[in-house]
């Protein structure tokens, strides 16, 4: 169970899920990795199956953020950083964290606020095609630019919303999977890393080192060429909690060279039909970001895309049979990069 905790008045979420699912008596536990909690739940379930501890496991991600007033939400999310030093002493909220990255990136590479808004426009476009998305209305760059500032240069439309949501996936051993489905999707590899708790100890501010390490680990495990990764995967869900985060993810994952990720969004190369479709479910920006559920929802989306079951207009062409999910907790405090595949992993 992926549940960041504190948002809802219900504290024993795994037990409640078991009861409602008719699984009382079966083992259950809660994992937490800030905004990457859902991916931590998927990995815990996958590890249990791979180790032979379980033949089948259910990974659930859930969060009810709207039970908490906005100031409490800001505080809870702030606790995913270096809370006592950065939040309490300097009032650094998560829009503030990513605003620091955005200003650094913009100054270093000549990126404009309009470029950030292009990410929001794309993700709202695909959110309008996703019946599960929180925001299903398309926006323009002009609308984005006119929205109020949350933490300069990030505006309202640059930020993911406060979201209620849940997602679930079933993971099974190879022997059992072939009995319950004729179209399994495999977890080919998972890369995991962490960053420094204190932002002042980071080496740079134009990307997330933890994401780069997790990606390289995943590519190595899946025996993929990191220099040509866009030619080996068909679709990606990346952690666009803020629009700058999506552009940095392009580069951290190797879709573009450092400082050139903005070209992908300017040239619409991350749309369906482009070089590498990204967040064609609306992403965190439009689909929503229910903290504990986000990573599990990425697993659901990659499964739908690889099986050709996404809605019309946002289904990608599957050539390589692989999808990638990039899930970040905090500002690179945790990172999970998961490769989903239609083919059984080698070795």
CATH of the domain at 286: 3.40.47.10
pLDDT digits (tens, 9 = 90+) for 158-178: 999 999 999 999 999 999 998
Beta bridge partners of 190: 338
Q: How many Cβ atoms sit within 10 Å of the Cβ of residue 11?
A: 11
Nearest to 326 by CA among 309, 301, 344, 290: 301
| 86 inside domain | yes
Q: Give me the domain span that covers residue 309.
A: 13-341
Total domains in the fold of the chain: 1
5 domain-assigned: no
Do 235 and 280 contact (CB within 8 A), yes or no? Answer: yes
285, pLDDT greater than 80: yes
In a domain, 101, yes or no: yes
Q: Are the beta carbons of 255 and 211 closer than 8 angstroms? A: no
The two tokens of residue 221 are 């495990």
Q: Please measure the distance between the N-terminal and C-terminal CA atoms of the chain and give it in whole angstroms.
A: 29
- CA-to-CA dists, residue 286 to 122, 124, 141, 166, angstroms: 9, 5, 15, 15
Q: What is the chain's mean pLDDT, rounded?
A: 93
Helices first, then strands: H and E counts in the chain = 13, 8
Residues facing residue 149 across a β-bridge: 155
User: Tell me: the pLDDT tens digits for 224-242?
Assistant: 999 999 999 999 999 999 9
| Domain contains 8 | no
* pLDDT at 9 exceeding the cut of 80: no
What's the pLDDT score for residue 31? 94
pLDDT of 86: 73
35 domain residue, yes or no: yes
Q: Phi first, then psi: what are they for 342, rounded to 5°?
A: -85, -15
pLDDT at 3 over 80: no
**Is residue 6, in this structure, part of any structural domain at all?**
no
296 vs 39: CA distance, rounded Å? 6
Q: Is the predicted pLDDT of residue 89 greater than 70, yes or no?
A: no
Q: State residue 266's pLDDT score.
A: 98
Q: Looking at the domain assignment, is residue 4 inside a domain?
A: no
Give per-residue burial for 172-210: e unless 16+ CB within 10 Å, then b: beeeebeeeeeeebbbbbbbbbbbeeebeebeebbbbbb
* Residues with catalytic roles: 35, 289
Lowest mean pLDDT across 10-24, 25-39, 285-299: 10-24
Asked whether residue 1 is domain-assigned, the answer is: no
- The confidence band for 347, taking pLDDT boundaries of 50, 70 and 90, is low
Is residue 87 very low, low, confident or very high in pLDDT (cuts 50, 70, 90)? low
- How large is the average pLDDT for residues 275-295? 97
């Amino acid at each position: 169970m992926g549940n960041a905790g504190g948002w809802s008045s219900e504290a024993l979420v795994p037990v409640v899920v078991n009861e409602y699912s008719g699984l009382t008596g079966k083992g259950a536990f809660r994992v937490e990795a800030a905004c990457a909690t859902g991916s931590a739940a998927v990995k815990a379930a996958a590890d249990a199956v791979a180790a032979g501890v379980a033949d089948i496991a259910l990974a659930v991600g859930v969060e009810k953020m709207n039970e908490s007033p906005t100031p409490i939400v800001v505080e809870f999310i702030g606790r995913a950083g270096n809370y006592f030093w950065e939040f309490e002493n300097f009032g650094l909220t998560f829009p503030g964290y990513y605003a620091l990255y955005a200003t650094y990136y913009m100054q270093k590479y000549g990126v404009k606020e309009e470029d950030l808004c292009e990410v929001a426009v794309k993700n709202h476009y695909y959110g309008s095609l996703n019946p599960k998305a929180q925001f299903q209305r398309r926006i323009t760059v002009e609308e984005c630019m006119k929205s109020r500032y949350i933490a300069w240069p990030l505006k309202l439309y640059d930020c993911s919303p406060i979201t209620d949501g849940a997602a679930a996936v079933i993971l099974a051993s190879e022997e059992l999977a072939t009995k319950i489905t004729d179209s399994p999707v495999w977890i080919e590899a998972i890369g995991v890393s962490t960053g420094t708790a204190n932002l002042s100890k980071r080496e740079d501010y134009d990307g997330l080192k933890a994401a780069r390490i997790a990606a390289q680990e995943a590519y190595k495990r899946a025996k993929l060429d990191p220099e040509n990764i866009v030619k080996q995967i068909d679709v990606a869900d990346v952690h666009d909690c803020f629009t700058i985060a999506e552009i940095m993810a392009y580069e951290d994952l190797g879709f573009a060279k450092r400082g050139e990720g903005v070209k992908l969004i300017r040239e619409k190369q991350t749309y369906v039909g482009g070089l590498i479709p990204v967040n064609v479910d609306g992403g965190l920006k439009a689909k929503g970001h229910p903290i504990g559920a986000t990573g599990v929802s990425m697993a659901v989306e990659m499964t739908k895309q690889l099986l050709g079951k996404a809605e019309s207009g946002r289904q990608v062409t599957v050539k390589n049979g692989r999808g990638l999910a990039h899930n970040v907790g905090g500002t690179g405090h945790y990172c999970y990069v998961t490769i989903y595949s239609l083919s059984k992993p080698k070795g």
